[in-house]
């Protein structure tokens, strides 16, 4: 799958975000840590249950471990529900929504490409969007004139008020997806850059399966920690944001999660290679020797050549190694009755 135009880091991460994200996260995380946490440190991976854990990094006062089996990254211990409740109702979320609004139109093309993928599998039907936030995906869906009956869910008061005002035709449910008790089942469920936020991915995947009709599809995206940009950035990656991002996946840990929920991996894409290239350019431009070594001498010398950068972006998409993984999963059909 080729991408028609470049999506760059600076286009979707506003200057205000880049200048203030670390400060805002540090201030918010410090307040979160004051609440305390009764969660014990785990001796096993939350995804594959493997017990070979390695310390990955400490960020904003939180420890992240990596599983030696499926390579999943996770907060250890996980933040408590009280800590997460504070975080998602803190000034950090208002700040996040502000830069989403500022970069709204630059983000719409990301979702337009995802809609094209969805329509390869579904031409119509009932669609549930999980974690709709300020509705960038819903806007792209409306502009595409795709004939779906659209539902969405989000637990945030602010998000739901925004969605009511801007998308009154969508059937809105203010709830976590695990809490939804809806009549009927969905042909498709979308979840964009939300899975990394959830405390219990297995519970969420189970809820998705329950809400899908037989042969229904789950389309979702989440950071891909074995990608080009993650390999170069390492522990400095901009998406290491606990207590916001607490479960960080790769293809292997996603395979385990899907299998445990009884969902089949149909295909996957890493569609925004130009985003990886633009981010790595920023890392290399900062002059960090470790990042340069990670990228390798060859790439470091050539990535600023526009022709090479465009070719590398296409290669990352074609070889499915870009930094955000979009997954198509399916609930198997019901067995025939004899």
- Domains of the chain by range and CATH? 9-22+104-330 (3.40.50.150)
Other CB atoms within a 10 A radius of the CB of residue 153 amount to: 25
CA nearest neighbour of 100 among 28, 159, 151, 145: 159
CB-neighbour burial class of residue 85 (10 A; exposed 0-12, middle 13-18, buried 19+): middle
The token pair at 140 is: 């792209």
According to the model, what pLDDT value does residue 4 have? Answer: 54
* Predicted pLDDT of residue 85: 87
Instruction: Report the pLDDT value the prediction gives residue 32, as an integer from 0 to 100.
Output: 95
CA atoms within 13 A on the CB side of 91: 11
- Can you tell me the distance from the alpha carbon of 142 to that of 186, in angstroms, rounded to the nearest whole number? 18
Predicted model pTM: 0.87
Q: pLDDT of the chain along its 338 residues, tens only?
A: 444 568 888 888 877 787 888 898 999 999 999 998 999 999 999 999 999 999 999 999 999 999 999 999 999 999 998 999 899 888 887 787 777 778 888 888 889 989 999 999 999 999 999 999 889 999 999 999 999 999 999 988 888 888 899 999 999 999 899 999 887 799 999 999 999 999 999 999 999 999 999 999 999 999 999 999 999 999 999 999 999 999 999 999 999 999 999 999 999 999 888 889 999 999 999 999 999 999 887 788 888 889 889 988 999 999 999 999 999 999 998 776 65
| pLDDT given at position 314 | 92
User: What local confidence, expressed as pLDDT, does residue 3 receive?
Assistant: 45
**pLDDT at residue 338, rounded to an integer:** 59
**185 token code pair:** 């089942």
- Exposure string of 183-211, with b = 16+ CB inside 10 Å and e = fewer, is eeebbbbbbbbbbbbbbebeebbbbbbeb
């Amino acid at each position: 799958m080729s991408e028609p135009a470049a999506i760059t880091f600076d286009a979707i991460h506003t200057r205000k975000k880049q200048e203030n994200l670390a400060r805002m996260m540090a201030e918010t995380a410090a307040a979160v840590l004051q609440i305390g946490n009764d969660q014990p440190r785990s001796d096993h991976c939350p995804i594959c249950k493997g017990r070979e854990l390695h310390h990955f990094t400490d960020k904003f006062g939180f420890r992240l471990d990596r599983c030696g089996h499926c390579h999943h990254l996770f907060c250890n211990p996980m933040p408590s529900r009280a800590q997460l409740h504070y975080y998602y109702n803190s000034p950090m979320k208002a700040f996040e929504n502000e830069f989403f609004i500022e970069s709204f139109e630059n983000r719409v093309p990301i979702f337009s490409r995802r809609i094209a993928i969805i329509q390869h599998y579904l031409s119509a039907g009932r669609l549930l969007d999980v974690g709709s936030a300020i509705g960038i995906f819903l806007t792209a869906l409306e502009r595409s004139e795709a004939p779906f009956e659209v539902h969405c869910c989000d637990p945030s008061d602010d998000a739901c008020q925004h969605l009511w005002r801007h998308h009154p035709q969508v059937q809105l449910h203010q709830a976590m997806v695990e809490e939804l008790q809806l009549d009927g089942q969905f042909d498709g469920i979308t979840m964009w850059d939300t899975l990394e936020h959830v405390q219990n991915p297995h519970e969420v995947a189970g809820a998705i399966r329950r809400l899908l009709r037989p042969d229904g599809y789950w389309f979702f995206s989440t950071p891909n920690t074995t990608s080009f940009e993650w390999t170069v950035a390492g522990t400095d990656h901009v998406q290491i944001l606990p207590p916001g991002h607490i479960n960080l996946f790769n293809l292997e840990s996603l395979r385990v999660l899907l299998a445990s929920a009884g969902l089949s991996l149909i295909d996957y894409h890493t569609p925004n290679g130009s985003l990886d290239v633009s981010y790595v350019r920023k890392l290399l431009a900062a002059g960090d020797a470790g990042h340069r070594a990670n990228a390798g001498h060859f790439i470091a010398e050539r990535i600023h050549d526009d022709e090479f950068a465009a070719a590398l972006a296409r290669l990352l998409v074609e070889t499915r190694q870009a930094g955000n993984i979009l997954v198509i999963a399916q609930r198997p059909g019901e067995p025939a009755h004899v």
